[in-house]
Amino acid sequence: MPRFRFRLQGLLRLRTQLEQVARRSLATAMGAVAGVEQRIAVADAGLRECEQLGCTNEPQAPLARALGQGLQRHRSQLQHQLRAAEAQLDRARGDWLERRREQRALASLRERRHGEWRRDDERRDQRDIEETSRHRVALDGPQEERT
């Protein structure tokens, strides 16, 4: 009996590799978004501290207000970076979904073809068994009752 051979196996392997590359790109993009979000959280914490110190009559209050303005500008830049990182994440997610769909379609086709091959193989085996039994009956001849 011949082994199962999927003619598109090379393409399936390539699509699987492309899906893995897209998944890694998606993970990288998710990490970039998380990194920018973390930096925004740190900037927000610094802003809160500066606001608290800036509202006092302490000698460092003017410095805290100036630092708060700088942190506000920095936070604005981070917000811009976050929008860019989220846009990249959306592109990476779309690419990964497309690659996954392509890979799954080929994997599904492979499974379908393998099932067809297995059913055909079982039919061949059954046909061989029936043919062997017919030959045995033909060779043995009709069974006469012996007394």
Q: Give residue 55's pLDDT band: very low, low, confident or very high (50, 70, 90).
A: confident
pLDDT, residue 142, reads 62
pLDDT, residue 72, reads 95
Examine residue 144 and state whether it is found in any structural domain, yes or no: no
Mean per-residue pLDDT for 76-92? 98
Residue 146 has pLDDT above 70, yes or no: no
* Global pTM value: 0.75
Mean per-residue pLDDT for 49-68? 85
Please tell me the total count of domains within the chain: 1
Examine residue 47 and state whether it is found in any structural domain, yes or no: yes
Chain mean pLDDT for the chain: 92
Examine residue 7 and state whether it is found in any structural domain, yes or no: no
Examine residue 8 and state whether it is found in any structural domain, yes or no: no
Which domain does 116 fall in, by range?
A: 20-137
From residue 61, alpha-carbon distances to 4, 44, 47, 65, 70 in Å are 78, 18, 13, 6, 14
Examine residue 85 and state whether it is found in any structural domain, yes or no: yes
pLDDT, residue 60, reads 82
Examine residue 89 and state whether it is found in any structural domain, yes or no: yes
